[in-house]
Structure 1
Amino acid sequence: MTITDVGNLFMFAGGLGMFLYGMHSMSGGIQKTAGNKMKELLGILTSNHFMAVVVGALVTAIIQSSGATTVMVVGFVNAGIMTLTQAVGVIMGANIGTCITAWIVSLGQLGDAFKAFSPSLYAPLLVGIGAFLIMFSKKAKKQTVGEILVGLGLLFIGLDFMGDAAGDYLHFPIFTRAFELFGSNPILGILIGVIVTAIMQSSSAAVGVLQTLAAAGGVVTASSAMYISLGSNIGSCCTALLSSLGESRNAKRSAVIHLTFNVLGALVWGSGLFVLFQFRPAFGTMGIDSVGISVFHTIFNLVCTVLMTPLRGKLVALSGLLVKGGDEQEQAEQSDDAITLRHLDDRILETPSFAVENAILEVVHMGHIANENMERAFEAVMNYDKEKIEQVYRTEKVINKMEKLITEYLVKISNLSLNEDQHMVVNDLFYSVSDIERVGDHVENIVELMDVKEDGEPITFSEEGRCDLAEIMDLVEKSFVFSISAREKVSMDDANKVVKYEDMVDNLEEELREKHIERLSRQLCNPTSGVAFLDIISNLERISDHAYNLAGYVMSEQ
């Protein structure tokens, strides 16, 4: 091996690295730019099948990997955000979304007649402009644009590097014979596509390399390119399959649906192409360029989606047969964390915008648990119930655990590629989790005041005291409920209601304190119960303060 050969090898490796990094950088920049749009896409997931396909295609076009999209789908299903039926649509759309990268690669490999319009010509300029924006612009939006430009430029430069490095060798007989072998043996061709994609963890990247080889040497035959493309679709399932190991049965089923869909498509098309090439050998042995690969890749995924859409229910049923187990068994196998923390899944971190929205869902879920515990505590105050008090203690431990786990998840999100608005939301979520946990502490304080030893006297209040407590409890509960609703819906109306209820609670707490002190001075109630009464309304006022904080975070984000 000569020094020139070593240099070409290094150039090909460097080109592949630039191509992959360019895809990653461009993906990160687009995700920052599309932050709020990605949030809207998450809401569309609950819509019809057609919209699920559209979402899958758009998300894959943004993050440049159908494998990563399917990994997120596994996470969504595992978190209970998506059903298996909805997952089918997103998975189908993900395959369509990979075609975007193929067409981008095709643009970079236009012929000499279109040299002036070739992105490769402008790639260095894109990198230069992008670098200047990143280094010298103080505005986050311009820096994000710079990130996209650098990624796009490196992608095309990487493709050129790979093409130049490989071009000197593709005319060797060994490459010609290899592609002839892949083209004449569909099983081998598909297997090569599976292996290369599994190694690169991206069908978009694998097809991009194939297009580069096709454009550089002209040795890639139509049959070999088509079989390898079919294999790359199957190879994209490897990441999701590995990701689903050890997760819920529905998570495993979503990965199996992806595999089944792609394997069936490859089998049908592979068989049809094999028959066609037997009758028309010239079709299989003719050369193919990057545009031809893009056309085939697009038609294949579109046709598979159209044909398989009426069978999506069958795909779900088949996944149930392959991954056995019912809902009751699923519930029994889940840990307490899995049941409580429904929306947190590290796979969703693949797309920061979705990760932020899922963190919001989990914070809201924590708020609902705290509110249910508050209701139990209020019932125990009005009508002493030892079992309810014990349940409050148990739930408070769950809330404390949720605070720790959600905070850890938020730390992971804060290290992702976020825009300014998303950073603000994540910071507010840190504070929100702390406020909800403090609400839980105050609820526990209230039941501790009511909890008495077996030989002790129960805490009782006069009829007037009970009415006063019922009044302030109603206001506090409404305040907290609307604060959680404000976060969930990003509703200014709900946040303003919290402000109103907070003022009412503050005024009422002062009024009730004065009334109760007067009752104590007139000896109209038991001193022990009187102290408990004052401590209870003090804790209630503090709960309202934390609700006010929660609403304030939402208001500051507008």
Structure 2
Amino acid sequence: MQYGFTDILQLIGALGVFLFGMKVMSDALLLLAGSKMRSILARMTSNRVLGIGTGFLITSVIQSSSATTLMVVSFANAGLLTLVESIGVIMGANIGTTITAWLITILGFKVSMSTIALPLVGFGFAFTFLKKEKLKNIGSFVIGFALLFIGLQFLKEAMPDIKNNPELLAFLSSYTDLGYLSIVLFLLIGTILTVVIQSSSATMALTLIMTAQGWIPFELAAAMVLGENIGTTITANLAAIIGNYKAKQTARAHLIFNLIGVLWMLILFYPFLRIVADVAMSLGSESPYLSAAAIPVAISLFHTIFNVANTFLLVWFVKPIAKIVERFVPEKIEPEQQVDAPKYLKHEVLKYPETAILALSRESQRLFKNSVFEIVSHALHIHRTDIKSEEKLKTVIKKSNILFDANVRDLYTRRVKTIYGEIIRYASLTQNKFTLTEAQNREITELKAANRKMVEILKAVLELSKNVSMYLNSENKYIKKEYDKLRKRTAKVLRVIHLFRTETDNLAYHRKLMAMKAALKTNKQSNDIAIDNLIRKDRITTDMASSLFNDYDNVNDIVYKLIDVADLLYSKKDTLLNNENF
């Protein structure tokens, strides 16, 4: 055999150039479009078709199914994607990765890129000297694109020639005539190669070159492609090892989805290949069973048709797949804590600015919904359930005359302080770690402002609560009536905020909140007149009047800030999608 150690080193080097080109191209595309792609992913819904489309779009643009899957695992780990949503995106990523195979087949085998690859490197390198970051990334993309095809050309040249090494074909033939055993064997080879190289695109390139050189027939190349589909799931599973149960579930879902696909394909393997061969010939290609030169096109067709068919078949079984995954990786129930801790803010969310911003938003909304809303309600001695109900507020206030054991300071320490501190810390870390767009910076600033206002609300409520407790069951019906008015006014705002937060069509409630905010100045004037009348008619003492003056101002301040917080946290904004770097 005329293929020695030096030739093997050249083959490894050629593979290295190909992989380096793929990495440079993928990294540049991530810098160019990754933030926009992550923003789209961050706005995902449970709609399966949208999920598949998102996965396909992201993988097609950034040219790396592994990068997409790792992104999905990170989002799931941060609690920003559900398991069902993650499965949909992964299905789309599997279709998107077929674009790379067509790129290699058309430009690597049908068109000679070797003559323009080196000039492209020079052209791209010139861009890297420019000041604008976007142009530098375009230059890096061009360099990576060219290196990919230079590496592919080196791979074709480094592969041993069958004519000069006939014993190699004799060696391979002993493994190609074993029927289904050969299929399984080459499936395993495809899996192992992808696991070792950590790139299904590189394994695909090797497979296409082996077919073009006449090493292996069409059906064994197809078997290797199936193996690559299994091997590519390893990256996500390795990344999920250090993640939480949600990340592990997403990675296992990727593996199970691809394994199910490979299983049904093995059952229908030969009939499916004949269909692919017929499609290839109908498009003007030769039969892949007769011509080695026709196999790369047929393999690319097989890769695409298989992934599309597998997605179309299994998209109806996303929830059963999710249930299977949940049985393998059960939910890990966190032990109850004496002091509330953040739910969404974990170190993993700092991998991308989008995950960090969405985690901050979710944590802020959770803090308002679970803690601030409750503390304000209880400080006024009103049940949250009554505020959220459809019962008339007049009736709610009338029946809410039992004093709660609402220690606002203690509740703040246990329910708010730690989470608030972590929100501010993560907001600062996000702004310091990433180069954010103006829209992203604005969103973080607004979230910090919302959290500061929540703390200010609780400080104001602490003072208000003392007087409410004192006058709630006062023998002086006039002072009791005035404090009931204050309670009713605050409860009304809380109810509208609840509806604004929970109703799908919430524009009317937003308008109502803005109207309430605009009316605060008028309220202050009417409040002052009402208190003056009570003093003049000697219905309340001067101490009571002093408390009322302070608490009317206090309530105005609380209401104003509650509306501000609701507007900052729950108004529908697409600031993440408004990405100026794309």
User: 1:184-263 to 2 correspondence within 5 Å?
Assistant: 185-208=182-205, 210-211=207-208, 219=215, 221-245=217-241, 252-263=248-259
Paired residues of 1:134 and 1:144 also in contact (CA < 8 A): no
- What is residue 56 of structure 2 aligned with on the other side? 57
Q: Say what the alpha-carbon RMSD is for the aligned residues.
A: 5.0
Alpha-carbon shift at residue 187 of structure 1 (Å): 4.0
Task: Tell me the equivalent position of 2:277.
Answer: none
Alpha carbons 1:75, 1:345 under 8 Å: kept: no
Match of 2:381 in 1: 380
Range moving further from structure 2, 185-194 or 297-306: 185-194
TM-score after normalising by structure 1: 0.73
**1:527 and 2:543 aligned:** yes
What is the CA–CA distance in structure 1 between the aligned matches of 2:433 and 2:209, rounded to whole Å? 31
Stretches of structure 2 that go unaligned for 5 or more consecutive residues are: 274-287, 383-396
How much does 1:109 deviate? 0.6
Code of the aligned partner of 2:306: F
> Please, which of 16, 19, 22 is the counterpart of residue 16 of structure 1?
19
Counting matched residue pairs gives: 527
Contact 2:56–2:94 (CA under 8 A) maintained in structure 1? yes
Which amino acid letter does the alignment assign opposite residue 189 of structure 2?
I
One-letter code aligned to 1:207: M
21-30 or 352-361: which moved more? Answer: 352-361
Distance 1:320 1:552, change over 3 A: closer
Q: Distance in 2 between matches of 1:73 and 1:556?
A: 20
SS at match of 1:458: helix
Residue number in structure 1 paired with 2:46: 46
1:29 has 2:18 as partner = no
Q: What is the rounded CA distance, in whole Å, between the counterparts of 1:181 and 1:529 in structure 2?
A: 101
In structure 2, distance between residues paired with 1:37 and 1:541: 37
Residues 1:299 and 2:313 are matched in the alignment = no
* Distance across 2 between alignment mates of 1:338 and 1:377: 18
Choose from 320, 325, 337 the match for 1:319: 325
Deviation of 1:501 (Å) = 3.8
Aligned twin of 1:537: 553
Counterpart of 2:390 in structure 1 is none
2:483 match: 466
Deviation (angstroms), 1:298: 1.2
Q: CA, structure 1 residues 443+223, in 2 after alignment: closer, same or farther (shift >3 Å)?
A: same
Q: CA–CA distance in 2 between the matches of 1:415 and 1:274? A: 56
Q: 1:403 to 1:80 in 2, by over 3 A?
A: same
Cα gap change, 1:57/1:546 in structure 2, threshold over 3 Å: closer, same or farther?
Answer: same
| CA 1:530–1:93: 2 relative to 1, 3 Å | same
Structure 2 Cα separation of the partners of residues 247 and 387 of structure 1:
42
Contact 1:230–1:270 (CA<8 Å) still a contact in 2? no
| Residue equivalent to 1:425 | 439
Instruction: Supply the distance in 2 between the matched residues of 1:387 and 1:74 (Cα, whole angstroms).
Output: 44
Kept after mapping to 2: 8 A contact 1:410/1:426: no
In the TM superposition, what is the alpha-carbon distance from 1:481 to its structure 2 partner? 6.5
CA distance change for structure 1 residues 312 and 496 in 2, over 3 Å: closer, same or farther?
Answer: closer
Partner residue in 1 for 2:279: none
- Match for 1:159 among 146, 149, 157? 149
Q: C-alpha deviations, 1:78-103, integer Å up to 9, x for none?
A: 66655544444333222111111222
CA distance in 1 between counterparts of 2:427 and 2:226 reads: 39
Q: Could you tell me which residue of structure 2 aligns to residue 449 of structure 1?
A: 463
AA at the equivalent of 1:504:
A
Shift of 1:155: 2.7
| Alignment correspondent of 2:102 | 103
- Give the whole-Å Cα distance in 2 for the aligned partners of 1:388 and 1:369: 18
Query: Relative to structure 2, which stretch is displaced further, 331-340 or 148-157?
Result: 331-340
Gap change, CA 1:384 and 1:166, over 3 Å in 2: farther
Structure 1 residues 433 and 84 mapped into 2: Cα distance closer, same or farther (>3 Å)?
A: closer
Distance 1:177 1:403, change over 3 A: farther
Could you tell me how far apart the structure 1 residues matched to 2:270 and 2:230 are? 18
Percent identity (aligned): 20
Question: In the TM superposition, what is the alpha-carbon distance from 1:301 to its structure 2 partner?
Answer: 1.3
Letter in 1 for 2:520: V
Over 3 Å counting, the alpha-carbon distance change for 1:547 and 1:318 in structure 2 is: closer
- TM-score normalised per structure 2: 0.70
> Larger radius of gyration, structure 1 or 2?
2
Deviation of 1:395 (Å):
5.8
The superposition leaves residues 448-478 of structure 1 with CA deviations (integer Å, 9 ceiling, x where unpaired) of 336669xxx9355713421542465257647
Per the TM alignment, residue 258 of structure 1 is displaced from its structure 2 partner at its CA by 2.2
What is the DSSP-based 3-state SS (H/G/I as helix, E as strand, rest coil) of the residue aligned with 1:389?
coil
Cα distance in structure 1, aligned partners of 2:240 and 2:11: 39
Distance 1:256 1:144, change over 3 A: same
The superposition leaves residues 207-255 of structure 1 with CA deviations (integer Å, 9 ceiling, x where unpaired) of 345446666x554553443233212211222233344447665654443
Q: Is the 8 A contact 1:377 1:446 kept in 2?
A: no
Question: Aligned partner of 1:228: which letter?
Answer: M
Task: Give yes or no for contact 2:450–2:564 (8 Å, CA) kept in 1.
Answer: no
Is the 8 Å Cα contact of residues 252 and 325 (structure 2) preserved in structure 1?
A: yes
Q: Secondary structure at the match of 1:170?
A: coil
Distance change >3 Å, CA 70–CA 17, structure 1 → 2? closer
Deviation of 1:432 after TM superposition, in Å, equals 2.8
Give the 5 Å matches for 1:331-480.
Answer: 332-333=333-334, 356-357=357-358, 359-369=360-370, 372-373=373-374, 375-377=376-378, 379-380=380-381, 387=404, 389-390=406-407, 393-394=410-411, 397-410=414-427, 414=431, 423-449=437-463, 458=470, 460=472, 462-470=479-487, 472-473=489-490, 477=494
- The CA distance in 2 between the partners of 1:481 and 1:130, in whole Å, is 54
Deviates more, 1:433-442 or 1:344-353: 344-353
Q: Which moved more, 1:286-295 or 1:440-449?
A: 286-295
1:535 CA drift (Å): 5.3
Q: Distance in 1 between matches of 2:254 and 2:290?
A: 28
1:408-457 CA distance string (max 9 Å, x none): 55556557887xxx62333233323332332332343244336669xxx9
Structure 1 stretches of 5 or more lacking a match?
Answer: none
Change over 3 Å in CA distance of 1:165–1:314 after alignment to 2 = closer
Give the deviation of 1:552 after TM superposition. 7.7
2-structure distance, mates of 1:35, 1:74: 12
Pairwise CA distance, 1:29: 1.3
Equivalent residue letter for 2:221:
A
Aligned residues of 2:490 and 2:559 also touching (Cα < 8 A): no
Change in 2 beyond 3 A, CA 1:451/1:61: same
SS in structure 2 of the partner of residue 402 of structure 1: helix
Change (3 A) 1:424 1:71: same
Deviates more, 1:544-553 or 1:434-443: 544-553
More helix by share: 1
Contact 2:32 2:138 in 1 (8 A): yes
> What letter matches 2:304 in structure 1?
T
Contact kept, 8 Å, 2:78 with 2:344, in 1: the verdict is yes
**Other structure's SS at 2:236 match:** helix
